[in-house]
Structure 1
Amino acid sequence: MAKTSPAQFAREVRREIAKVTWPTRKETVISTWMVFLMVIVASLFFLAVDQIIAFAVRLVFGIGG
Protein backbone atom coordinates (compact mmCIF):
# COMPACT_ATOMS: atom_id res chain seq x y z
CA MET A 1 0.00 0.00 0.00
CA ALA A 2 1.39 3.38 -1.02
CA LYS A 3 2.12 5.85 1.73
CA THR A 4 0.41 9.22 1.52
CA SER A 5 2.06 12.36 2.79
CA PRO A 6 0.17 14.39 5.40
CA ALA A 7 -0.26 17.25 2.91
CA GLN A 8 -1.72 14.92 0.26
CA PHE A 9 -4.01 13.38 2.87
CA ALA A 10 -5.28 16.84 3.89
CA ARG A 11 -5.97 17.73 0.24
CA GLU A 12 -7.92 14.51 -0.27
CA VAL A 13 -9.93 15.10 2.88
CA ARG A 14 -10.82 18.64 1.72
CA ARG A 15 -11.85 17.27 -1.67
CA GLU A 16 -14.11 14.64 -0.07
CA ILE A 17 -15.66 17.16 2.35
CA ALA A 18 -16.54 19.37 -0.62
CA LYS A 19 -18.62 16.48 -2.02
CA VAL A 20 -20.77 16.20 1.11
CA THR A 21 -24.32 17.52 0.91
CA TRP A 22 -24.88 19.17 4.27
CA PRO A 23 -28.42 19.41 5.67
CA THR A 24 -30.11 22.77 5.94
CA ARG A 25 -30.94 24.27 9.32
CA LYS A 26 -34.62 23.41 8.79
CA GLU A 27 -33.81 19.76 8.01
CA THR A 28 -31.61 19.54 11.09
CA VAL A 29 -34.31 21.00 13.36
CA ILE A 30 -36.98 18.67 11.96
CA SER A 31 -34.71 15.64 12.34
CA THR A 32 -33.89 16.62 15.92
CA TRP A 33 -37.58 16.92 16.85
CA MET A 34 -38.32 13.58 15.19
CA VAL A 35 -35.60 11.94 17.27
CA PHE A 36 -37.08 13.44 20.46
CA LEU A 37 -40.54 12.24 19.46
CA MET A 38 -39.34 8.71 18.76
CA VAL A 39 -37.48 8.61 22.10
CA ILE A 40 -40.70 9.57 23.90
CA VAL A 41 -42.74 6.98 21.96
CA ALA A 42 -40.17 4.24 22.64
CA SER A 43 -40.01 5.20 26.33
CA LEU A 44 -43.78 4.99 26.70
CA PHE A 45 -43.84 1.65 24.88
CA PHE A 46 -41.18 0.11 27.12
CA LEU A 47 -42.84 1.55 30.22
CA ALA A 48 -46.12 -0.12 29.22
CA VAL A 49 -44.43 -3.44 28.44
CA ASP A 50 -42.53 -3.31 31.75
CA GLN A 51 -45.73 -2.63 33.68
CA ILE A 52 -47.55 -5.51 31.93
CA ILE A 53 -44.72 -7.94 32.64
CA ALA A 54 -44.49 -6.80 36.27
CA PHE A 55 -48.25 -7.28 36.68
CA ALA A 56 -48.04 -10.78 35.16
CA VAL A 57 -45.17 -11.75 37.45
CA ARG A 58 -47.06 -10.47 40.51
CA LEU A 59 -50.14 -12.35 39.37
CA VAL A 60 -48.30 -15.63 38.82
CA PHE A 61 -46.16 -15.54 41.97
CA GLY A 62 -48.59 -13.68 44.23
CA ILE A 63 -45.93 -11.16 45.21
CA GLY A 64 -46.57 -7.59 46.33
CA GLY A 65 -50.30 -7.80 46.92
Structure 2
Amino acid sequence: MAKTNPGQFVRQVRQEVAKVTWPTRKEATISTIMVFVMVVVAALFFLLVDQILASGVKLVFGLGS
Protein backbone atom coordinates (compact mmCIF):
# COMPACT_ATOMS: atom_id res chain seq x y z
CA MET A 1 0.00 0.00 0.00
CA ALA A 2 1.44 3.34 -1.06
CA LYS A 3 1.77 6.05 1.54
CA THR A 4 0.06 9.35 0.85
CA ASN A 5 1.18 12.71 2.07
CA PRO A 6 -1.05 14.65 4.50
CA GLY A 7 -2.27 17.10 1.85
CA GLN A 8 -3.39 14.32 -0.48
CA PHE A 9 -5.05 12.53 2.43
CA VAL A 10 -7.05 15.64 3.33
CA ARG A 11 -8.15 16.06 -0.30
CA GLN A 12 -9.31 12.43 -0.43
CA VAL A 13 -11.21 12.82 2.83
CA ARG A 14 -12.95 15.94 1.54
CA GLN A 15 -13.94 14.10 -1.66
CA GLU A 16 -15.43 11.22 0.33
CA VAL A 17 -17.29 13.55 2.72
CA ALA A 18 -18.81 15.33 -0.28
CA LYS A 19 -20.34 12.00 -1.38
CA VAL A 20 -22.20 11.53 1.91
CA THR A 21 -25.94 12.13 1.84
CA TRP A 22 -26.62 14.03 5.04
CA PRO A 23 -30.09 13.80 6.64
CA THR A 24 -32.32 16.82 6.74
CA ARG A 25 -33.22 18.42 10.06
CA LYS A 26 -36.67 16.80 9.88
CA GLU A 27 -35.21 13.33 9.24
CA ALA A 28 -32.73 13.73 12.09
CA THR A 29 -35.48 14.90 14.47
CA ILE A 30 -37.78 12.00 13.58
CA SER A 31 -34.94 9.50 13.95
CA THR A 32 -34.02 10.94 17.35
CA ILE A 33 -37.61 10.76 18.58
CA MET A 34 -37.91 7.16 17.35
CA VAL A 35 -34.73 6.23 19.22
CA PHE A 36 -36.13 7.68 22.45
CA VAL A 37 -39.46 5.88 21.92
CA MET A 38 -37.69 2.55 21.32
CA VAL A 39 -35.53 3.06 24.43
CA VAL A 40 -38.65 3.60 26.53
CA VAL A 41 -40.37 0.55 25.00
CA ALA A 42 -37.30 -1.63 25.62
CA ALA A 43 -36.96 -0.35 29.20
CA LEU A 44 -40.62 -1.13 29.93
CA PHE A 45 -40.29 -4.58 28.36
CA PHE A 46 -37.23 -5.47 30.43
CA LEU A 47 -38.86 -4.06 33.58
CA LEU A 48 -41.87 -6.31 32.98
CA VAL A 49 -39.71 -9.37 32.29
CA ASP A 50 -37.62 -8.65 35.40
CA GLN A 51 -40.70 -8.35 37.57
CA ILE A 52 -42.12 -11.62 36.23
CA LEU A 53 -38.84 -13.45 36.81
CA ALA A 54 -38.49 -11.95 40.31
CA SER A 55 -42.02 -13.09 41.16
CA GLY A 56 -41.22 -16.57 39.85
CA VAL A 57 -38.08 -16.80 41.97
CA LYS A 58 -39.98 -15.63 45.05
CA LEU A 59 -42.70 -18.19 44.38
CA VAL A 60 -40.30 -21.08 43.86
CA PHE A 61 -37.73 -20.33 46.54
CA GLY A 62 -39.75 -18.23 48.98
CA LEU A 63 -37.09 -15.53 48.92
CA GLY A 64 -37.63 -11.83 49.40
CA SER A 65 -40.22 -9.95 51.33
Residue in structure 2 matched with residue 60 of structure 1 by the alignment: 60
Q: TM-score, structure 2 length as denominator? A: 0.97
Give runs of ≥4 in structure 1 deviating > 4 Å: none
C-alpha separation in 2, matches of 1:36 and 1:13: 32
2:16 aligned residue: 16
Q: How many residues align?
A: 65
Identity of aligned residues (%): 71
> Aligned-residue CA RMSD in angstroms?
0.7
1:15-54 pair list within 5 angstroms: 15-54=15-54
Question: Can you give the 5+ residue segments of structure 1 that lack an aligned partner in the other structure?
Answer: none
What runs of 5+ residues in structure 2 fail to find an aligned partner? none
Q: CA deviation at 1:3?
A: 0.6
Q: TM-score, normalised by structure 1?
A: 0.97
